[in-house]
Amino acid sequence: MAIEIYRGEYVTAEDASKLIDTNNLKKQCDLLNEAAQQLDTIARKVQELRSICNKNAISVNEYSMEKEIDSYKKQITNLSSYLRKLSANLINAAQKVINRNQVIFNEKAKEENRIKAIQAQYGNLDEYTTVW
């Protein structure tokens, strides 16, 4: 969940979402999800082919390939799942970075807004302050 940008009377916080090219990140994650969908389709096709073949049709010298085919299907399914998790983790990590920085930007803006409010109420106090 995104943290709201602070908007004070005098100062608005910087938008942390500009730190990361979120549009490009989402596009790349969409590509990962599309690849996962393609892998799901391949896994289904492998399963369909496996189900129409009997032991004799997928064996050589009485050595059956059923276990290997099942193993390949499982590997394809695992890779699909991994790509989906990777996509979700990338989006979550980006959101955490944005949120963490938004908190910092908001706090800075709140302090700047507080100073501007004091200056508006009492005038610019810079001429009365001296750095020792």
What digits encode the pLDDT tens for the residues 95-118?
Answer: 999 999 999 999 999 999 999 998
Give me the amino acid identity at 10.
Answer: Y
pLDDT at 52: 81
Give the pLDDT band of residue 1 (cuts 50, 70, 90).
confident
**Residue that wins the pLDDT comparison between 60 and 131:** 60
Instruction: Please report the pLDDT score of residue 128 as a whole number.
Output: 56
Q: Decide which of 106 and 2 is more confident.
A: 106
Among 18-22, 67-71, 120-124, which stretch is predicted with the lowest mean pLDDT? 120-124
Poorest-confidence range of 4-13, 67-76, 114-123? 114-123
Q: What is the pLDDT of residues 34-78, one digit of tens each?
A: 999 999 999 999 999 888 877 667 677 777 778 888 899 999 999
Give residue 130's pLDDT band: very low, low, confident or very high (50, 70, 90): low
